[in-house]
Structure 1
Amino acid sequence: MAETMLEKLKEIAFEAGGVILSMYERRDYKTAEKKDDSPVTTADLVASELIEDRLKQSFPDIPVISEESEHQDYNERRQWRAYFIIDPIDGTQEFISRSGDFAVNIAYVENNEPVIGVIFWPVGETLYYARKGAGAFKQKENEKQSISVRKFSDPQADPIIIAISRQQAREPVFNRLQTKRDIQPLPTGSCSLKACFIAEGKADCFLRLGPTGEWDTAASQVIVGEAGGRIVNENFEPITYNRTVSLLNPNFLVLGDQNVPWEEVFIARQARFR
């Protein structure tokens, strides 16, 4: 069942990515602002509707949470044993700025834990995916390969590659570093692509400061975890799913090689209650 579901989620992500890419290349979309002042495009909405429709066709008994749809009341959500959570375009600002660094995120959550994650990067024609206990993979065209985080020769001293946003100021992130080790920035786009780059060893870590939702991390959490890394809040505690009224995340860290003493690299800060 799990493998069949994974294949269907890959298929849906690829289809949605194709529609998004077509709108992106033709510049056939409009842009607006949501109530929280974050951007949204007609491509986000089209992709969200497509993904939700495909999921409901294939898995009619499993509810769906989308960033771009009205969210169910927590009194209803808290009863769910399983659900899908999606971000039709993770990196909408990157889509608008035309950097190409945006992705489709689809995750399946069971007993409040993401267990299947699929992330499709349309411009890069690359699919990242994982199922809990079965490893993490990267697929481009017909070539599939297992991926894992970069292993340090010396976890105590080797230079660290930090994935960092092109759209946000670097200073708040670098102010949270407390190490004299060489830090090498890797500018890139959406949260999920940063996480995938860590999962495949192109970068070692990522600190996200600012508002995100559980749809931003659910698929990444499976992929990064199966690749040997982890995602935690800024106090190095696990990220939770559907356990509070709010679906917003705290600030979080995506960390690669677990032999690195990450708590000596980043300044821990008590996470705010949601």
Structure 2
Amino acid sequence: MKKSDSFLIAIKASIEAGKSIMELYEQGKVKIESKEDNSPLTAADTASNNVIIEELKGTNIPIISEENKQISYIDRKDWPFCWIVDPLDGTKEFIKRNGEFTVNIALVQKGVPILGVIYVPVTRELYYSDVKQEKAYKTVLNKEHILTRELFDEKDRIIPTISKKNDLIKVVGSRSHMNQDTEDFIKNLRMDFNEVEIVSKGSSLKFCLIAEGRADVYPRFAPTMEWDTAAGHAICSAVGLKVISKRTNSELKYNKDSLLNDYFVVRK
């Protein structure tokens, strides 16, 4: 199967998953359970995961998903390619009903994200990128979650806007995970910039903000898993941004022994 075919399947999977999430979101009350790590799980997480797994299985590429039983590293360490999936990134935002949740799908080759898809079901914004082509796009679907224009249209190409204010830096923060390390990072920035503006967003939308140039830096000094970041990493990489591990000072890697990420910073 060609990479382009896999890309289109991933895009379709994200949209169909988003539709399944919205069916439950629009019902209002959703039953909430707790997973072993005490993170929330809803029927929307499960419904989205089922849709994605069904769509992606035709690619014959193995899948790492937050909602699947995890595969041992011995069995997956030699995979040349794998999908990394978060069927509902921002479950807490889903529960809060603020619309800031996404569907994340990334194709990883030997630890490096090469394709990324993020779908925002509430706003119907579809972000997608081909890292090797150094191109990322943002296409908005109609109210029925149907594409009204061709994918990969140059009009939808993400060209980051560059701030003309050299004394201002915009920092992406999390609505749910601001902590002392992040506060210290921001404090240090205040020594170099006259003004530091905090831009708060949930889920992988933080990666989308910085990819579009609506923010300058995204520090994440709280635990994340590979499925939280792989798709956003691919979108940022396609527009020339780096996702740097605080521990190694190199870019995050994927399909590791531990699927837990290092703390990281997204920047140019």
Fold agreement, TM-score > 0.5: yes
Alignment partner, residue 23 of structure 1: 24
Q: Which residue of 1 aligns with 2:251?
A: 238
TM-fit CA distance, 1:43: 0.8
Q: Which runs of 5+ in 1 are unaligned?
A: 259-274
Measure, in 1, the Cα distance between the counterparts of 2:43 and 2:101.
Answer: 15
Percent identity between the two aligned chains: 36
Amino acid at match of 1:242: N
Report the counterpart of residue 196 of structure 2 in structure 1: 183
Counterpart-to-counterpart distance in 1, 2:209 and 2:196: 16
Match of 1:161 among 161, 164, 170: 170
3-state SS, counterpart of residue 187 of structure 1? strand
Separation in 2, partners of 1:115, 1:169: 29
Q: CA shift at 1:171, angstroms?
A: 4.5
Aligned with 1:150 (options 161, 164, 176) = 161
Deviates more, 1:225-234 or 1:94-103: 225-234
| Residues 1:174 and 2:173 are matched in the alignment | no
Q: Work out whether 1:202 is the aligned partner of 2:202.
A: no
Amino acid aligned to 1:228: G
Shift of 1:193: 0.5
Q: Determine if contact 1:148/1:228 at 8 Å carries over to the other structure.
A: no
Give how far 1:152 is off. 4.2
Q: Read off the aligned partner of 2:176 and give its amino acid letter.
A: Q
What corresponds to 1:269 in structure 2?
A: none
Determine whether 1:104 maps to 2:103. yes
Is the CA contact (8 Å cut-off) linking 1:82 and 1:110 kept in structure 2?
yes
TM-score, length basis structure 1 = 0.86
2:144 is matched with: none
Farther off after superposition, 139-148 or 38-47: 139-148
What is the 5 A alignment of 1:134-149? 134=133, 135-141=135-141, 142=148, 144=153, 145-149=156-160
- How many residue pairs match? The answer is 250
Root-mean-square deviation (CA, aligned residues, Å) is 1.6
Q: Is the 8 A contact 2:102 2:119 kept in 1?
A: yes
* CA distance in 1 between partners of 2:220 and 2:93 (Å): 16
Q: Secondary structure at the match of 2:94?
A: helix
Query: How far off is 1:28 after superposition?
Result: 5.3
2:48 matched to which residue of 1? 47
Q: Distance in 2 between matches of 1:199 and 1:217?
A: 13
The answer (yes or no) to whether the contact 1:152–1:158 under 8 Å persists in 2 is no
List alignment gaps of at least 5 residues for structure 2: 142-147
Cα contact 2:9–2:55 (8 A) shared by 1: no
Distance, in Å, in 1 between the alignment partners of 2:39 and 2:223 is 10
Distance in 1, Cα, partners of 2:217 & 2:210: 6
Whole-angstrom distance in 2 between the partners of 1:133 and 1:240: 16
SS at match of 2:252: coil
Q: Are 1:133 and 2:132 an aligned pair?
A: yes
The answer to whether the 8 Å contact 1:149/1:204 transfers is no
Aligned to 2:230: 218
